[in-house]
Amino acid sequence: MRILHTSDWHIGRTLCGRKRYEEFESFLTWLAETIQQNEIEALLVAGDIFDTTAPSNRAQELYYQFLYLVSKSSCQHIIIIAGNHDSPSFLNAPKELLKVINVHVVGNVTGDLNDEVLVLYDQQHIPELIVCAVPYLRDKDLRTAEAGESIKDKESKLINGILEHYAEVGLLAEQKRAELGNKIPIVGMGHLFTSGGRIVEDDGVRELYIGTLAHISADAFPQCFDYTALGHLHIPQNVMGRDTIRYSGSPVPIGFGESNQRKSVCQVDFDQKPVKVKLIDVPELQRLESIKGNWDYISDRLIALSVANINIWVEIVYTGDEIVSDLQDRLASSIKDTQLEILRVKNTRVIDRALEQTNLDETLDDLSEIEVFERCLQVHEIPEDQKQDMLNAYNEILLSIHEMDRQGE
């Protein structure tokens, strides 16, 4: 049995207002070709298929075209779980129809673990894989709020809820394997944040829970999982050095913070022990470049990039001591008659920081929701001993808003 693990497509994501449908279409075309060329039998997509709970018509078109195309290939099964960016009800809406082409969708926890523990059969109806398709576990799925709870109480409930859920699906998977009387492999799926997970600035990874994100360790996953396919973190990585517990990472760089990452998907073969994991590099679909430094460095780097004579989207982060009042004009002159496009300029002059002045080039697009709130606290001179409680309360409100399934209303 050979599977392919991917996640965090974020179809519909924009970058500095620039639509990126051509990139997403190119990636999905490449992925379909890779599935066919490598004779993949099952595709696992570990959440965040779309970037918002209300994807555009174009984003939906790309998604359904891809599913139809892959259903006619060597791939016999596609398993999709919802991530924290996805609308469970939107993903679930066509699930019965998609089953006809062997696409299994798990948008949310239903109360029946059989909905998450899937037995996959080959064309001779012989069981060949069990998949524990655990979607993003929302706060309301894991705990009941009680008056007077502290942040630590809430975190403890969240972590215990995650551990208990995975223990239950793992136990059910082992029971099903015993009933089938065949030592077939078991694969776990999840969309969550594990301890030690690596992230980068500007990758769009949201906090999932209140407090310290309710990170869990690799030991949280049942021992019966031969491979664990995770989503949420955008850097391709294993968990605590275990190669069979992996984040595939986002295949398309979500922001300039990911511009230097090598993107990949994970091919997993179960025909031998130990399980063999191979990373397949995703081709660079749109080059991104973040240039950070003083004016001389920025100017030299722009000249070097222009020589490549390819379309490159650029972010400029000016950190020089010199006050450059005509920075925008200099940049425009530097990229004239080249294929470089500057999508964002950040001016972080030392003198501005010293004087605590607002960056003239800064917009709300440059700040996260938390950063905006922190600045409000600073402006209103909130005492330090009250800031953390207010930040926790604000974060809890944000999570509630993000988890609101508008498609389900």
> Whole-angstrom Cα distance, residue 2 to residue 227?
12
| pLDDT value at residue 51 | 93
| pLDDT value at residue 253 | 93
| pLDDT value at residue 321 | 82
| pLDDT value at residue 355 | 43
| pLDDT value at residue 220 | 87
**SS3 state of residue 158:** helix
Q: Residue 356 region, left (φ>0) first, then alpha (ψ -120 to 50), else beta?
A: left
DSSP secondary structure string for all residues of 16-58: TTB--HHHHHHHHHHHHHHHHHTT-SEEEEES--BSSSS--HH
Share of the chain above pLDDT 70, in %: 85
How do the domains of the chain map onto residue ranges?
2-281, 287-363, 367-409
Question: Which residues on adjacent β-strands are paired with residue 277?
Answer: 268
> Whole-angstrom Cα distance, residue 240 to residue 247?
11
DSSP secondary structure string for all residues of 228-261: EEEES-SS-EEETTEEEEEE---SS--SGGGTTP
Extended strands (E) in 1-152: 2-6, 42-46, 77-81, 103-106, 117-121, 127-133
Distance of alpha carbon 115 from its chain centroid, rounded?
A: 23
Could you tell me the pTM of the whole model?
A: 0.84
> Whole-angstrom Cα distance, residue 205 to residue 73?
32
Angle separating helix axes 369-379 and 384-403, nearest 10 degrees: 150
Determine how β-strand 2-6 pairs with β-strand 264-269: antiparallel
**Residue appearing with tokens 């993949």:** 40
DSSP 195: T
Omega within 30 of 0 (cis) for the link into 251: no
Fold entry, domain 2-281: Purple Acid Phosphatase; chain A, domain 2 (3.60.21)
Question: Which residues on adjacent β-strands are paired with residue 322?
Answer: none
| pLDDT value at residue 357 | 44
Fold entry, domain 287-363: Double Stranded RNA Binding Domain (3.30.160)
> Whole-angstrom Cα distance, residue 129 to residue 1?
8
The reply to whether 287-363 shares the fold of 2-281 is: no
CA proximity to 49, closest of 282, 231, 256 = 231
What does pLDDT average to in each consecutive run of 10 residues of the chain (409 residues)? 96 93 97 96 96 94 96 93 94 94 94 94 92 91 67 79 94 95 92 82 56 69 96 93 94 90 95 90 94 94 92 93 85 93 80 45 58 75 75 69 60
Contact present, 231 and 247 (Cβ < 8 Å)? yes
> Whole-angstrom Cα distance, residue 254 to residue 286?
11
| pLDDT value at residue 48 | 95
| pLDDT value at residue 368 | 64
| pLDDT value at residue 402 | 60
> Whole-angstrom Cα distance, residue 137 to residue 119?
21
> Whole-angstrom Cα distance, residue 172 to residue 112?
11
